[in-house]
Amino acid sequence: MKRDLHNHTVFSDGINTAEEMVQAAIAAGLREFGISDHSFTPFDPGYCMPPEKYPEYVQTIRELQKKYAGQIDLKCGLELDYYSDAAPEGLDYIIGSVHYVKKDGEYLALDLSAELFAEIIEKHFGGDAYALCERYYETVSDLYRKTKADIVGHFDLITKFNEGDRFFDENNERYRNAWQKAVLEVLPDTPVFEINFGAFNKGLRSVPYLSKEIQIFLNEHGGRTIESSDSHSILTIGKFKR
């Protein structure tokens, strides 16, 4: 079944309305479609959905479910960041994601730019990129306890700006040990991990998350994958081609 469960609308940092996204999903031939706008992070409110919008968000998607019943199986989800408060009631699923690490009393965004990523390594981790990776995957390991996620979102987001091993060697033992431990910690509670095409579709990466090595390890240990476009507009809905 063609499905795409990771998508954003104007309720957070998307550029299209929920209905426009649903119509585009139908036009793309999807059978199942999920809207999963960003949960509120109080220390970084610019990209996410304020909690007072949660009831309107859920109601809007429920109304669209009725309107487009028979054309598409629409789901109401939320991408719940590790550092957000609890999710609202009435959701069909939760994508649990880590976008930040906390260090030196600061919430450090990992996916904004390569320049900021380099600054985080130098300023907060003494130039040790592997220490940053270890902190990131330690946080991911705790994802289910904090979010009760049904799906693990872009598990290896830490590699967003690491094409060509720009900041660290993804074959390094410290890096491999960090992500393998996180996979094994998360799997018992959340066995479904995204193959996320968000950065790939934006031209920021030549491959999607998860890396092939992580996919193989995950499958060997009983995990499952689901493809997601992580679309923020109607243009990339359902686009999973490598």
| pLDDT for 229 | 97
pTM of the model: 0.97
With 0-12 / 13-18 / 19 or more C-beta atoms within 10 angstroms meaning exposed / middle / buried, residue 75 is: middle
Sheet of 192-196, strand order: 3-4, 32-35, 73-81, 93-97, 151-152, 192-196, 224-228
- Calculate the CA dihedral of residues 118, 198, 84, 211 and round it to 10 degrees: -70
In 98-240, which ranges are continuous DSSP H helix?
114-125, 129-141, 143-147, 173-186, 198-201, 212-220
Nearest to 90 by CA among 56, 128, 130: 56
Average pLDDT over residues 29-35: 97
| Cβ 195 vs Cβ 227: under 8 Å | yes
Partnered with residue 225 across adjacent β-strands are: 193
Give CA–CA dist 168/52, Å, rounded. Answer: 40
Q: Quickly state the pLDDT bin for 240 (edges 50, 70, 90).
A: confident
Comparing CA positions, the residue from 224, 55, 38 lying closest to residue 147 is 38
Checking if the pLDDT of 139 tops 90, the result is: yes
Average pLDDT of the residues in 78-102: 96
Per-residue pLDDT, 214: 98
Q: Is the pLDDT of residue 2 over 70?
A: yes
Mean pLDDT over each residue of the chain, to the nearest integer: 97
Residue 241 predicted with pLDDT over 90: no
Largest Cα–Cα distance in the chain? 56
Higher pLDDT, 68 or 240: 68
% of the chain surpassing 70 pLDDT: 99
Model pLDDT, residue 242: 66
Q: What is the pLDDT of residues 193-226, one digit of tens each?
A: 999 999 999 999 999 999 999 999 999 999 999 9
CATH for 3-236, options being 3.20.20.140, 1.10.10.10, 3.40.30.10, 2.60.120.260: 3.20.20.140
Residue 87 CA, distance from chain mean position: 15
C-alpha to C-alpha distances, 160 to 18, 27, 78, 170, 198, nearest whole angstrom: 27, 30, 22, 12, 10
The angle that helices 173-186 and 212-220 make with each other, rounded to 10 degrees, is 40
Mean per-residue pLDDT, 56-82? 98
Q: pLDDT at position 1, please?
A: 63
CA 73 to chain centre: 21
Q: Which residues contact 191 (CB under 8 A, 6 or more apart)?
A: 222, 223, 224
The domain spans of the chain are 3-236
